[in-house]
Structure 1
Amino acid sequence: MTEREQQILAILRDEPLIPQQELADRLGISRSAVAGHIMNLMQKGRILGKGYILAQQQYVLLIGGANMDICGSTAQVLQRGDSTPGHIRCSPGGVARNIAENLARLGNDARLLTVVGDDLYGRTLLEATHKAGVDVRDAWLLPDEATSTYLSLHGPDGDMAVAVNDMDILQRLGPERLADKLERLRHAAALVIDCNLPEDSLQWIFAHRGTQPVFADTVSAHKCQRLRPWLAHIHTLKPNRLEAEALSGLPLANSDDAWRVADWFHAQGVQQLVLSQGEGGVCWSRSDGTRGQLAAAQVAVVNATGAGDALMAGIVHGQLQGWTLADSLPFAQACAALTLGSSATNHPSLSTTAVETWLAQHA
């Protein structure tokens, strides 16, 4: 779907009887343009008929962090204890939220469970996420909390040099809140969780989920430890090198090490492992013994923040399409490559068409 079609669907989910002229006025386009977009959505099977009855679609439930990213970047080497000229920008972020936005831009029904403060950052986050096509109706807006904030500094290579996160509000996303969304959990086609969640929340999710696959993002070498008791319940795990070493206790310096680490995770019950190694590419492995490696995509890095979330979104998208992991990963890697080339945490023009075009150009 195009970005405009995603915007129209997001409005129609909330207001299925909205007149076309009002829809046009809200979007700042002509009524005839709205009619054309709606015709395209009907041809794609996303709208079934009059009254804008939306097609029932399997959805992904994402549970975890949503925060405001404050990113500083400089073309010069960062100097400790000194001020460095550069650029600073704010954009919506958070691992679960980023994956949800990418999934929505790829045409999936993504629903986000998170908590934000009733402040400027929180309201901006929900509005921007909704505009990107994510269903945020079940997110909580808390008047007595500050919205999560993630501050990162990036040097000339685009990679993160240091970061600080303030995510205390996620302690409020506990079992008592999640219990109100039990039906959402059980009817999802897939669950995506991140390790920003408190340990008791992870325990509740694994205890109450149905049979759907769980995709887990490790977030950091510190927070990934929260997953240790639940590895047997995870369908797909996506750690980087440091996170994989922290969880397994095994060294990871080369490809041979990667396969030993993969075998360790499979022995714990993880069905699929996608090991991100930065410039070393991606190693992947399944518990049935199939495995492989993809070289890193050649792309000029503008901003490395969000690339891993785009990779996970591509993997989940492939699962929903019924693709094998081997088939999903080139698509997922293209999602990450496009995001690396964008100044924003999430590529604003990500779509299946953009990914397919990138793959064709880099075949």
Structure 2
Amino acid sequence: MGRKALGAGNRNKAFRPLLVVGGCHQDVLGRAGVAYEPATSCPGMVTRRSGGVARNVAVLLGRAGAPCRFVSVVGDDAAGRDLMAELVAADIDTTAMLVDGGGRTGTYLAIHDEAGELVSAISDLGLYDGFVLPAAALGGDKDRLVFADANLAPGELRRLADAHGDRLVLDAISRAKAPRLKPLVASGALFICNLPSAELLVGHPVGRPAEAAEQLATAGARRAVVTGGSKPLAILDEGRITELTPRPTEVIDVTGVGDAQTAGLLLALSAGAPLILAVGVGMLAARAALATAGALGELPAGVVAAALAAGETAEA
């Protein structure tokens, strides 16, 4: 069952159409206000927010003016309805979304200690395991840039890779989900992953992003972006590896930094920027996220302008 999106009021024709596929669920986060003790009740604060890498990226793209269609599955419950409403409010095309009347919208539940470190989590995301992609996610505009996260089942990720080839961008998300992408390393897709996830893709420990990029190339990857926190980020582009060092910045909050970086990168790619310039725009978005309390609600105007400028540079 689909839902109609709002009109294309905020869409910028300079951006290539995007299709975003993957996680759309709720995050419930608890943080202890005192020294955390297991097996007992700890005073603290519980917050609820919308989550899912693909969903977060789609909202940032939609609010930046990119024409974006989103494909995922939610339950026919209060959480699902709230998530759908937020997508529509961001001017995202939700006509290919599935509302599963017999399913339960996914929930990620995390407990953090008083310092903000994760001490326990439960991932209730089984709704994705049986999710079969609709035709809208596999065909359509051949100029469309496609992004998917590894919340999808391995077979559905393979269908996306077969359908979209080098127009597909895949996000490994985490060490737990990265193995789903390993069979697709040589598919021609662009891979986005951090160093721990890259280790799962290449099958052994690596010391730095550039080493991971080299190993991915050996495994058949054509393009990849491997991040490593403060370590130089590595870009693999058709056999060539480039390192970019993140600029030092004051860290207010790391929430949503990876999603912001991915959204900035995709926005620049959709404007026609080459990969190395697009990564620079993504790094600009990441710095903005680090300097913001909580996740970014939208990409700053400076990031959107940088994405457009990167696309214009490529055309010159």
Give the TM-score category using the shorter length.
0.7 to 0.9
Matched residue type, 2:261: L
Superposition RMSD in Å: 2.7
Q: CA deviation at 1:189?
A: 1.8
Match status 1:348 vs 2:279: no
2:193 is matched with 239
Say which one has the larger Rg.
1
Matches within 5 A, 1:123-272: 123-155=81-113, 158=116, 160-174=118-132, 177-179=133-135, 181-184=137-140, 186-187=141-142, 189-209=144-164, 212-253=166-207, 255=208, 258-272=209-223
Matches within 5 A, 1:114-129: 114-129=72-87
1:274 is matched with 225
TM-score after normalising by structure 2: 0.84
Q: Aligned with 1:11: secondary structure?
A: coil
Q: CA deviation at 1:281?
A: 5.3
The one of 85, 91, 95 aligned to 2:43: 85
Question: 2: distance between equivalents of 1:354 and 1:318?
Answer: 9
Q: Would the aligned equivalents of 1:91 and 1:344 in 2 still touch at CA under 8 Å?
A: no
Q: Would the aligned equivalents of 2:68 and 2:93 in 1 still touch at CA under 8 Å?
A: yes
Task: Decide whether aligned partners of structure 1 residues 149 and 296 sit closer, same or farther in structure 2, where only a CA change above 3 A counts.
Answer: farther
Q: CA deviation at 1:151?
A: 1.6
Superimposed CA distance per residue, residues 249-276 of structure 1 (whole angstroms, 9 cap, x where no aligned partner) = 23223x4xx3332111112332222222
Q: Which one is further off, 336-345 or 146-155?
A: 336-345
Superimposed CA distance per residue, residues 124-151 of structure 1 (whole angstroms, 9 cap, x where no aligned partner) = 0010121122221210111100001112
2:55 is matched with 97
Task: Decide whether aligned partners of structure 1 residues 328 and 199 sit closer, same or farther in structure 2, where only a CA change above 3 A counts.
Answer: same
Task: Decide whether aligned partners of structure 1 residues 283 and 178 sit closer, same or farther in structure 2, where only a CA change above 3 A counts.
Answer: same
Matched residue type, 1:276: T
Unaligned runs of 5+ in 2: 307-316
Question: 2: distance between equivalents of 1:270 and 1:101?
Answer: 28
Question: 2: distance between equivalents of 1:161 and 1:312?
Answer: 27
Question: 2: distance between equivalents of 1:77 and 1:140?
Answer: 42
Unaligned runs of 5+ in 1: 1-9, 14-37, 47-54, 358-363
The one of 255, 259, 262 aligned to 1:309: 259
Matched residue type, 1:246: L
The one of 238, 243, 249 aligned to 1:287: 238
Q: CA deviation at 1:183?
A: 3.0
Q: Aligned with 2:134: secondary structure?
A: helix
TM-score after normalising by structure 1: 0.74
1:326 is matched with 276
Matched residue type, 2:155: D
Task: Decide whether aligned partners of structure 1 residues 356 and 56 sit closer, same or farther in structure 2, where only a CA change above 3 A counts.
Answer: closer
1:17 is matched with none
Task: Decide whether aligned partners of structure 1 residues 297 and 56 sit closer, same or farther in structure 2, where only a CA change above 3 A counts.
Answer: closer
Task: Decide whether aligned partners of structure 1 residues 162 and 301 sit closer, same or farther in structure 2, where only a CA change above 3 A counts.
Answer: farther
Task: Decide whether aligned partners of structure 1 residues 85 and 77 sit closer, same or farther in structure 2, where only a CA change above 3 A counts.
Answer: same
Q: Would the aligned equivalents of 1:335 and 1:350 in 2 still touch at CA under 8 Å?
A: yes
Question: 2: distance between equivalents of 1:234 and 1:154?
Answer: 38
Task: Decide whether aligned partners of structure 1 residues 354 and 214 sit closer, same or farther in structure 2, where only a CA change above 3 A counts.
Answer: closer
The one of 318, 336, 343 aligned to 2:286: 336
Task: Decide whether aligned partners of structure 1 residues 77 and 273 sit closer, same or farther in structure 2, where only a CA change above 3 A counts.
Answer: farther
Question: 1: distance between equivalents of 2:60 and 2:285?
Answer: 9
Matched residue type, 2:142: H
1:3 is matched with none
Task: Decide whether aligned partners of structure 1 residues 180 and 108 sit closer, same or farther in structure 2, where only a CA change above 3 A counts.
Answer: closer
Match status 1:12 vs 2:2: no
The one of 3, 28, 39 aligned to 1:70: 28
Task: Decide whether aligned partners of structure 1 residues 277 and 349 sit closer, same or farther in structure 2, where only a CA change above 3 A counts.
Answer: same
Q: Aligned with 2:139: secondary structure?
A: helix
Matched residue type, 1:292: E
Task: Decide whether aligned partners of structure 1 residues 107 and 160 sit closer, same or farther in structure 2, where only a CA change above 3 A counts.
Answer: farther
Question: 2: distance between equivalents of 1:144 and 1:203?
Answer: 26
